[in-house]
Amino acid sequence: MSGALLEARGLRTGYGRLPVVFNVDLEVKEGEIVALLGANGAGKTTTLRALSGMVPLMAGEVLLDGKSLKGSTPDSIARGGVVHVPQGRGIFPNLKVDETLRLACAMAGVRRAEADARVADAYSVFGRLDERRTQLAGTLSGGEQQMLAIARGLIMKPRVLMIDEMSQGLAPTIVQDLFSIVRSLPEQGVSVLIVEQFVTHALDVASRAYVLEKGEVALTGDAAVLARDEAFVRGSYLGESGIDATAGNGAAEFHFDDGDDELPLAAGLLEKIENRAAQEGRNATEVLVDLLREAMESPARQGNGNGGMS
């Protein structure tokens, strides 16, 4: 129990020759939920990419069960139990829910009978996916797509599931549901590393947290202790991107899924764009730009007071 399951030591990584993460030490122990917080551009996603082998290390090492992952491919790291649910979900819109899960089984090299059991397990965790087995993934709501992305990760039977910006663009009610599922993962033998903008939820569900600032760990500790000082953490390290747990964030305002868990701001927007594009014989992007301009100029929108980020 004492040793780390997944560990980064002196991690330095980045893109091309440019490092964006410097000397990061981080660990996830068996049964833990750990939060990785930080302002936009602090290096959270890059850290997850390094842990899952998607970007090469410039210095330091990543260890699973104390063994270096040096030279391992992303695929072998995933098969070894470190599974990354990427920001943006990476869902194939033209595959059905069931096909998505079965493809994940096939890619993990799981045999048919075992695949049936794993898919059934996924449906028992995500009842909403069970009801939508034959629906194309691209037609799911944003919340359901996130469930599918997590379910696909769980199909791999991970030891550590790393979830990047799970709540991005989703309404508070569905975010609560997703966090309840995350909270239950350690009982199923899955440790969790979450990158999250909903700081309050993240600190609530996690036992420990790391706060990254400009690619370095600026603060780390017990999540409950950091939660008590949340205002300080937000003010000192998260700047304006420390988004209130009860409010939608900026990304949410541009989220166009047509599901029942979307934010009211986006409700009907897709339909409106499509209708107007058809009427005016223009493409949807041009109409979208017009609508955004009109919305920004509208006094009603400015007075609607939703969000409160200045």
Contact positions toward ligand ATP, by CB under 6 A?
15, 20, 38, 40-46
- Spell out the alpha helix ranges (H) of the chain: 44-51, 74-79, 97-107, 112-125, 127-130, 142-155, 172-184, 199-205, 223-228, 230-233, 269-280, 284-297, 299-302
Cβ 168 to ligand ATP shortest distance, Å: 9
Cβ 62 to ligand ATP shortest distance, Å: 16
Q: Closer to ligand ATP at the Cβ: 191 or 197? A: 197
Q: Closer to ligand ATP at the Cβ: 10 or 41? A: 41
Burial class of 284 by CB neighbour count within 10 A (0 to 12, 13 to 18, 19+): middle
Cβ 186 to ligand ATP shortest distance, Å: 24
Cβ 27 to ligand ATP shortest distance, Å: 19
Q: Closer to ligand ATP at the Cβ: 42 or 82? A: 42
Cβ 15 to ligand ATP shortest distance, Å: 3
13 in Cβ contact with 58 (< 8 Å)? yes
Q: What is the DSSP string of 57-126?
A: EEEEEEEETTEE-TT--HHHHHHTTEEEE-TTTT--TTSBHHHHHHHHHHHTT--HHHHHHHHHHHHHH-
Q: Closer to ligand ATP at the Cβ: 19 or 307? A: 19
Q: Closer to ligand ATP at the Cβ: 38 or 81? A: 38
Give the dihedral of Cα atoms 139, 142, 145, 149; nearest 10 deg: 150
